Amino acid sequence: MEEFKQVIIVRKDLGMSKGKTAVQVAHASVLAAFEAYSKKTEWFKSWFESGQKKIVLKVDSEEELLKYYNEAVKSNLPVAIVRDAGLTELPPGTVTAIAIGPAPGKLIDRFTSELKTL
């Protein structure tokens, strides 16, 4: 059976608190799930029915985060980007995280497998 998952990538260079990081990861996950539900319904259903596997990875900069975002777009994968509202710890518009998938794991792993978990 094919594995479906969602990968969330968060910036570690921002110095976000644990709570702030958790919220940004949650925002990314929900946004990308809605993207998949509307554009890749079968992927979403397979992921949902198999336990909604999620993996959280980290990068060191906005530039690096955007590299993975652009690769996901180029690969036609469901992807979402989070820009903070600026109400607590960060300036408005700060790019904090992305989520890729739900999608077949092998498609996401092609360009994210070298990243470390958060």
Instruction: Please give the residue range of the domain that contains residue 11.
Output: 4-113
In a domain, 10, yes or no: yes
In a domain, 62, yes or no: yes
In a domain, 118, yes or no: no
Structure tokens at 98: 């992305």
Indicate the pLDDT class of residue 1, thresholds 50, 70 and 90.
confident
pLDDT, mean of residues 84-111: 96
List, for residues 38-62, the tens digit of each pLDDT value: 999 999 999 999 999 999 999 999 9
Q: CA separation (Å) from 62 to 7, 25, 43, 69, 71?
A: 17, 15, 28, 10, 14
List, for residues 9-23, the tens digit of each pLDDT value: 999 999 999 999 999
